[in-house]
């Protein structure tokens, strides 16, 4: 891994799981990691239930917008994480690929999104421990 690893979170609509994962990684790792998210068929807006669930955790994703997945985004990332939606990323040698099987928050209320949010946080914490642990003094 380089000094500052980069992570790309991918789901079909880039409106729920990948947005929450990117927000958690940014929130928990700060500037130790470069964070991207994208989707193969981006939605018009981020899922309102995901926005509310993250707001409850103290993270504002209301100004985020779904982005289209590009080959350049994959090339520019050290780790590509698909969010259990069957989406495929272009495969490049030297990249690490993970698939996190997570329920899709689309069409669900905030009560159903909270456990998804919390599971994503746990997985992001594990990823940070692997690729960008806190510096030791």
Among 25, 38, 85, 131, the one annotated catalytic: 85
The Cα 45–Cα 14 span in angstroms is 9
Among 8, 11, 25, 131, the one annotated catalytic: 11
Q: 47-73 burial, b for 16+ CB within 10 Å, e for fewer?
A: bebbbbbbeeeebebeebebeebeeeb
Q: Is 80 designated active site?
A: no
Q: Is 89 designated active site?
A: yes
Among 38, 69, 83, 89, the one annotated catalytic: 89
Active site residues: 11, 85, 89
């Amino acid at each position: 891994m380089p000094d500052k690893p980069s992570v790309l979170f991918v789901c079909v609509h880039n409106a729920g799981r990948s947005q929450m994962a990117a927000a958690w990684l940014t929130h928990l790792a700060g500037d130790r990691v470069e964070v991207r998210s994208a989707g193969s068929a981006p939605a018009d807006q981020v899922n309102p239930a995901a926005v509310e669930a993250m707001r409850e955790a103290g993270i504002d994703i209301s100004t985020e917008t779904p982005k289209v997945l590009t080959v350049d985004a994959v090339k520019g990332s050290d780790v590509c994480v698909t969010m259990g939606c069957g989406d495929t990323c272009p495969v490049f040698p030297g990249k690490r690929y993970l698939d996190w099987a997570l329920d899709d928050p689309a069409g669900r209320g905030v009560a159903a999104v909270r456990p998804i949010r919390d599971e994503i946080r746990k997985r992001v914490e594990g990823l940070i421990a692997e690729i960008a642990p806190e510096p030791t003094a």
